[in-house]
Amino acid sequence: MRNESITAADLFKFDYFKCLRSDYAKNECSFCIDICPEEAMVFDRTRLTLDPERCTGCSACMGGCPTEALMSDLFDPNRFVLEFSASKDHDISCKENVPCLAALSPEHLVSIVLRKSGGITCDLSHCEGCAINKENKARERIDDAIDEAGKFLQLCNEANGIEKREQVSGNDVALDRRGMFKKLFRAAQEIQEEASMAELVPPEHEKQPVKRIILKNSLKRVAERFEANTGADTSFSFVVGKKIDADTCTNCQECAMFCPTEALSILKDNTGIVFQVGKCIACGICNDLCQPRSISDDTHLDLVNFAFDRMELLVKHRLEVCEECKIAFPYRGGEKICDRCRDYKDHFSDLFTMAKDLE
Ligand code: SF4
Ligand code: SF4
Ligand code: SF4
């Protein structure tokens, strides 16, 4: 098994096929490696490996993984979102209910705020001096997630927000990490107000991460609040809009074939590409793959399209059969010759003339 080096540590489940770096060799995702305080995660050529001697099970790496390729048996952030949202608690703290706040992504935080009334507080009073927060990397990741979640909540016209608590509260009881996991386990068992866990089990063959499904379900609950937020900053690290230049797109369809979440798909009659922004995780693979650089980011985010998985037609071609190679190509007027045959003729026309002269 290709993923045995991760699961051997008995701490994480690693789905090799979900990892962006196994999907596309040139992808440079390194969220999990960058945040690990113990340098326990390393890429060995194309394989992500974990050193079980170094890993402390802090779970900080999970929050950043865009595809949920890394999941832990000890803490499931998606389950936490559903349980915490159904509870009366408002404080998220590494001394109370999570192993480290870095285990939560902006998507998790937005979902919690949209599902609760009254907003939430993130307890950051223990970051300084914490073994997980080496070189302040975990704290920076947490701050970025909170800030980005706050920006997204503003776009949703959500009145409640996320507060940061920097001062140690008198109620805080220091627990070692083992004690923390025991407490988390008990708390999950004790939840009286049973949250529906159906959202944790996506339909078979679903390619988008569960945290995205939960976020979209959270947004649907407040959809009546969405209004044109003209001028708002709609660029986010976890989603991006797309556009395709119809004049240069060759209809090779590679962007759709390699999209890890099926945010891009091919029209049934093969004449174009459609896009569902609600499934996009901003991995950039489509932009990297497109040889004529026809696909690019469109930072305008339409919340209705996002929440309801609406399809946008990015490009639609009129196909004609090339007179030279007899293969269908996007026709833009003039001679019915595809770009490849035209290029070939332009570059090698001298050779054809010379060969003719020799006859
Ligand atoms: S964060 Fe996820 S997708 Fe990125 S390298 Fe790590 S396991 Fe792969
Ligand atoms: S956008 Fe680029 S990768 Fe996608 S079909 Fe067009 S040319 Fe191919
Ligand atoms: S549309 Fe592009 S950026 Fe978005 S998930 Fe697919 S490949 Fe990644």
Residue burial 276-293, b: 16+ Cβ < 10 Å; e: rest: bbbbbbbbbbbbebbeee
Say yes or no to pLDDT of 180 above 80.
Answer: no
Q: Tell me the domain boundaries of the chain.
A: 1-74, 75-235, 239-316, 319-358
Report the CATH fold assignment for 1-74.
Alpha-Beta Plaits (3.30.70)
Residue 242 near ligand 3, beta carbon < 6 Å: yes
The torsion of the CA quartet 265, 270, 271, 277, rounded to 10 degrees, works out to: 0
**Cβ(113) – ligand 3 distance below 6 Å:** no
Judged by DSSP in three states, 161 sits in coil
Q: What is the 245 CA–ligand 2 centroid distance (Å)?
A: 9
The token pair at 134 is 């080496």
Average pLDDT estimate for 111-118: 94
Nearest CA to ligand 1 atom 3: 19
How many Å separate Cα 26 from the centre of its chain?
Answer: 17
Q: How far is CA 4 from the centre of its chain?
A: 24
* Burial of 174 per CB tally in 10 Å (0-12, 13-18, 19+): exposed
Can you give the pLDDT at residue 205? 85
Does 314 contact ligand 2 (Cβ within 6 A)?
no
* Alpha carbon distance 337, 247 (integer Å): 15
Q: Please state which of the four CATH numbers 3.30.300.30, 3.30.365.10, 3.50.50.60, 3.30.70.20 is assigned to the domain occupying 239-316.
A: 3.30.70.20
Q: Is the CB of 41 under 6 A from ligand 1?
A: no
CA 144 to chain centre: 15
Beta bridge partners of 256: none
Summarised one tens digit per residue, pLDDT across range 302-324 is: 999 999 999 999 999 999 999 99
pTM (global) more than 0.85: yes
Tell me what pLDDT residue 354 has.
61
Which tokens go with 204? 């078979």
At residue 197, the pLDDT reads 78
- Strands, E assignment, 146-217: 162-165
- Average pLDDT of every residue of the chain: 86
- 264 CB near ligand 3 (under 6 Å): yes
Cβ burial of 40 (10 Å; 0-12, 13-18, 19+) is buried
Interstrand relation of 241-244 and 319-321 (parallel, antiparallel or unpaired): unpaired
The region of weakest confidence among 5-9, 135-139, 141-145, 238-242 is 5-9
Closest-CA residue, ligand 2 atom 7, reads 249
- The response to whether residue 202 sits with its C-beta less than 6 Å from ligand 3 reads no
Residue nearest to atom 8 of ligand 1 (CA): 19
Q: What is the residue whose two structure tokens read 């991006």?
A: 240
Distance CA(321)–CA(329), nearest Å, equals: 6
As a whole-number percent, the residues of the chain with pLDDT over 70 amount to: 85
- β-strand pairing of 70-72 with 162-165: unpaired
Element (H, E) at 65: none
DSSP, res 309? T
Average pLDDT over residues 209-228: 91
Query: What are the tens digits of pLDDT across the range 244-282?
Result: 999 999 999 999 999 999 999 999 999 999 999 999 999
Q: Ligand 3 pocket: which of 21, 28, 285, 297 to mutate (most atoms <8 Å of CB)?
A: 285
- Helix H or strand E encompassing 293: none
Ligand 3 close to Cβ of residue 100 (< 6 A): no
CA of 339 to the centre of ligand 1 (A): 37
Whether pLDDT at 143 is above 80: yes
Residue among 221, 208, 263 nearest 240 (CA): 263
Say if ligand 2 is within 6 A of residue 249 CB. yes
Residue 248 Cβ inside 6 Å of ligand 2? The answer reads no
